[in-house]
Amino acid sequence: MGDAHPDTRPRTPQRTLFLALVTLLALCIPLLLAGPVGAGPLTGGFSPTIVGGGADLDGNGVVNGSDDANAFYGDTSIIDGKLDCDAWGAVANQGDAGNGSITLADDCSLVGYDGTPDGVTIDVVNGFFQVGDGPLPTVFNAGNPDNADIGDSDFAWSARDGRVDSNGNELIDGDDCHFGLVGETNDGGLGDPTDGTDVLGNPGANQCGFASAPNTADNGLVDLNDDADITSADSCSNGCFFASTSRPERSRRSNVRASSPTHATRSSEPGRAKPSSAPPAPTSSAAKAAPTSSRG
């Protein structure tokens, strides 16, 4: 009867290489299946992208009649990609509503945060942004341009876990509603200032004035098709919302996805009143509804 001998053969270089490859695959496959980094819901600022002096809001890389944003910087709207800032005068980041059209009088200046002590000053001439192509700053603060805080800003758009902080209090609540944040109709001029993409908000009694009260669970969510409800239709993968994309949450809710925002001037609540009948004239600080806020 022969003796039993344990397998004491030395490992060959080929076997060592094989084990190393197996280990490498085990580490890499989960990363490959995880998808690209940054594909989750956005937390952070977002802003228009300048293309040839105009503001591209719908992420299609061109500026045209659908690039409207109702009461975007304070009460000041973006119309066909240009800033309606004729009411600002010489005061940077002044934020009052313009006359609802783009003319030779739309000259003003914006002071945005860029990490430097003096910030960046962007002149606007005849409505056109005098700055190179690329995204605008997400925070504007003329009095303290090196301060990136949203709550201290003149205006700043941001999202928190994919939901838009429309009122700038750095929370998501029922007061985070906004009408006509990105236009839908490719027309000349502002047209209906509330058409297109909305941000839903409901403090509890539909104080924001939607035709039908949004679900309070949808506060801060982006309503791409303007129906006051969040469904699978409120998703896009082509950067339709400030060059970002949106996708549903694990439930049926929709998020803004990382790539690009939210706003709010603390001294005013822009873009609020949206009646269920005829569309209103462009909103102004004197004509806006003043919804009840949980902040008191």
- The per-residue DSSP string of 118-165 comes to T-EEEEEETTEE-S-SEEPPSEE-SSSTT---STTSSEE-EEETTEE-
Between the CA of residue 104 and those of 101, 107, 126, 157, 178, what are the distances in Å?
10, 7, 5, 27, 28
Cite the DSSP H helix spans in 34-83.
Answer: none
pLDDT tier, 280 (very low <50, low <70, confident <90, very high otherwise) = very low
Position 3 scores a pLDDT of 53
CB distance 111 to 120 below 8 Å? yes
Between the CA of residue 32 and those of 25, 28, 35, 38, what are the distances in Å?
10, 6, 6, 14
Q: What is the pLDDT of residues 109-149, one digit of tens each?
A: 999 999 999 999 999 999 999 999 999 999 999 999 999 99
DSSP 79-111: ETTEE--TT-TT-TT------SS--TT--EEEE
CB distance 157 to 170 below 8 Å? no
Q: What is the pLDDT of residues 138-177, one digit of tens each?
A: 999 999 999 999 999 999 999 999 999 999 999 999 999 9
